[in-house]
Structure 1
Amino acid sequence: MQLDDKTNNTSLVLAFEFVDTKRVLLFAADAQIGNWLSWQNANWQVDGGVVTGPDLLARTVYYKVGHHGSKNATAREKGLELMKSPDLSAFIPTNKHDAQQVHWGEMPYDKLLTALGERCAGRVVRADDPWIADQVGKPGFAAPSGSIQAIDHGQGLWVELKLA
């Protein structure tokens, strides 16, 4: 399809809210800066109240980082800085070595990795984390915490997170 060659930034972004806790899981797909800016004025009527884009971001506890963790994948002021939950954790399904092999540039973007690490208290899981390939490997954060309740992995093949 020519759409794949000519257009980016058109994928579906999903925010799942746990009704009982109001916690949000955000899956940003290939969203880039324009998407993030458009969410600032978004609002929905829910159970007699109003939910806004910034409100969803503030209640986000799990963020699947968008657009391979590229430089323009996550807005700073209108995105990451609005994610205020102390339980925030993030997942980046991008392997830096493979991204370089296909000439994607700096993905994931080092400054974004640093900002995520700070905002998430180190609870950032990357597809290329060395512990994932190790049979008994454990993540850099000492124990599951925040929104991550449990972690399992299949020696470089998959990572399973139990979120709350």
Structure 2
Amino acid sequence: MRDFNGQLENEAATLHIGRLLAAATLEGLQAPDGSATVIHLHGELGAGKTTLARGILRGYGYEGPVKSPTYTLVEPYELDRRRIYHFDLYRLADPGEVEFLGTEDYFAGGNLCIVEWARRGGERIPSADLEIELWGEGAGRSIACTAHTGAGIEMVTEIVKKLRAGVDV
């Protein structure tokens, strides 16, 4: 399955989708070439991108604070099962600034890279396995997921399968 669209009625629903994404990436999902699994998060300020990233990290068992790396540009999370890098490129003035982050190391080695505002990085940010768009006002949100690779298709398929089965992670 390549696409998934849905409604997230509140923050808890956004966190739940994040945990489902984590479960999908935990189940042996690794790029065959050893590169990172890449998820791009799109949406306006306050759309829920960081909340979704928090849900993914919670799904991996991380219980510490998860803040938007708006000022640091990247937050690393060294977890037992995987390294996760959470990027927020909102403050980039030019895509060339990505070079100073040393992204070659982040986007390799089977890591999971979650990138908010990925379009601001231009072609210097690897293409997404999965792109997620969030939008809406108030407590509710809409979500649209689009897979671009086999890994992305596996993620979308797993999410939909678990939602239909009523799986709570």
TM-score by length of 2: 0.36
Higher helix fraction (1 or 2): 2
Structure of higher RCO (CA pairs closer than 8 Å, 6+ residues apart): 2
